[in-house]
Amino acid sequence: MKFVKLITIIIALYCILYNYLPFSQFTGSNSIVFARENIGLTEEDYAWKRKNMVERQIVARGVRDKKVLEAMESVPRHLFIPEEFRQYSYYDQPLPIGLGQTISQPYIVALMTEMLDVDNDDIILEIGTGSGYQAAVLSKIVKEVYTIEIIEDLGLQAEERLKSLGFNNVYVKIADGSLGWPDRAPFDAIIVTAAAEKIPDPLIKQLKSGGKMVIPVDSSFLGQDLLIVEKDESGEISIEKTIPVRFVPLIEGEEVEK
């Protein structure tokens, strides 16, 4: 019994430190309480929540790039999330966005963006548009973002959302992301937001010399590893394994290009 109580205390402390709600709280009376907290929120209220998210979930866990932090504080994550889950927008957890897909937790978005080490003159390729949130964050930092989504409805929704919110340097394509975007290559950096069985060769070819790719890849232990792939000036590839992650699988091989 004492052991169970100790575990409960540890979990509670974790939730407080990282502003995180366990998935068990999505149901029952607690979810009603949290929903009520968000009724009638203004954009100023959401801005405060974003600032709190950055300080407590992202800076506290080691992300330091000022450009990334400013972008995360600027982009309204709640507008990239279905209304029924909007009250959880600024908790550090992935959320469903429909069609079997999710929006990544804020910390992972910030971490992967920092790993790319991009600048304002860079042109970026994203594989897996999803809701468009990751592309929106990148668009605040770089010159242009080219993003590919294989699920047509999801891609079209993201494109409309990005345009309506004024992210005019983001370009969406409905296609098989594992093939990249050859007529816009090479790219200064590539980010993949779905887990591949292996690093797709077309993406390596479309990465500029001196560029980086951040990609989750299936590991041999039924998990996934987040990899940083670098191409030096001579074209040689180096791969660094960073942290274990959990992403939806990368869908390949569909003839959906539009």
Per-residue model confidence as pLDDT tens digits over 44-69: 899 999 999 999 999 999 999 999 99
Cα(29)–Cα(43) distance, integer angstroms = 26
DSSP letters for 44-58: HHHHHHHHHHIIIII
- pLDDT of 254 reads 57
Q: What is the pLDDT of residues 236-250, one digit of tens each?
A: 999 999 999 999 999
Q: What is the pLDDT of residues 85-135, one digit of tens each?
A: 999 999 999 999 999 999 999 999 999 999 999 999 999 999 999 999 999
Class of domain 95-245: alpha beta
Mean pLDDT of 155-172: 98
Cα-flanking dihedrals φ and ψ of residue 147, to 5°? Answer: -130, 140
Contacts of 126 (CB under 8 A, 6+ apart): 134, 135, 138, 145, 146, 147, 148, 190, 191, 192, 193
pLDDT for residue 1 is more than 70: no
Mean pLDDT of 192-217: 98
* Residue 104 known to be catalytic: yes
Cα(43)–Cα(197) distance, integer angstroms = 40
8 A C-beta contact, residue 195 and residue 219? no
- pLDDT of 6 reads 47
Q: Report domain extents, the chain.
A: 95-245
Q: Which of 24, 29, 89, 104 is catalytic?
A: 104
Amino acid at 195: A
Q: What is the pLDDT of residues 181-198, one digit of tens each?
A: 999 999 999 999 999 999
8 A C-beta contact, residue 256 and residue 176? yes
User: Quick one: pLDDT band at residue 37, thresholds 50, 70, 90?
Assistant: low
8 A C-beta contact, residue 190 and residue 203? yes
Rounded to two decimals, the pTM is 0.83
Share of the chain above pLDDT 70, in %: 83
- pLDDT of 42 reads 86
Cα(230)–Cα(212) distance, integer angstroms = 5
